[in-house]
Amino acid sequence: MKTLKRVAYALFSALLLTAVTAQAADKPDDADALQGVSEGKVVFDVNIAEPQKLPLYLMVVSETIDDLKRQGVKPDVILTFRGKAVRLITTDREQIELTDLEYLEKSDALIKELQGKGARMEACSVATRLFNVDNGELLDGIKPVGNTFVSLIGYQAQGYSTIPLY
């Protein structure tokens, strides 16, 4: 019986790997847009206030990093959190509805995943002040900065593209 389970598991794993590999191979590329591009410098301007939306957008950012790598482009990714989004990136969950905690737990895991892929993250201190978020309670790896508008100006001057996430 154990041997049959092992064989079934091995067969399932092989089929899954084949399906994933085929899906990646069939995925369209971005060759026209990436012609001559070796580095993808991008700032995602995160101003999402709804806990339900944040995990979806973080998953798309993660897929974007993977797609850049798949197409031979080195990703240089920064996420700047501003506005009410700063309430979603703190360890203090006192103000969060119980029904929203699962979304924040997913977001926390995705933030760690993105950081593992090299994404840097900043939180606007103007927003943390306005929305009573203690900078010391920001999630690990999220750096408080003076003003993300200033950051966005600076990053654009350094050649980063800005993609708003609302």
Q: Is the pLDDT of residue 141 over 60?
A: yes
DSSP bridge pairs for 144: 123
What are the pLDDT digits (tens) for 82-139?
Answer: 999 999 999 998 878 889 999 999 999 999 999 999 999 999 999 999 999 999 999 9
Q: Is the pLDDT of residue 73 over 50?
A: yes
**Considering only CA atoms, which of 142, 119, 141, 16 is closest in space to residue 63?**
119
Prediction pTM value: 0.84
Q: Is 78 strand, coil or helix?
A: strand
Domains annotated on the chain, with CATH = 39-165 (3.40.1260.10)
Phi then psi for 88, rounded to 5 degrees? -95, -5
How many CA atoms, within 13 angstroms, populate the side-chain half-sphere of residue 163? 13
Contact 30, 149 (CB under 8 A): no
- Return d(Cα 90, Cα 99) in angstroms, integer: 17
Contacts 24+ apart (CB under 8 A), 125-130: 126/82, 127/81, 127/82, 127/83, 127/84, 127/85, 127/86, 128/86
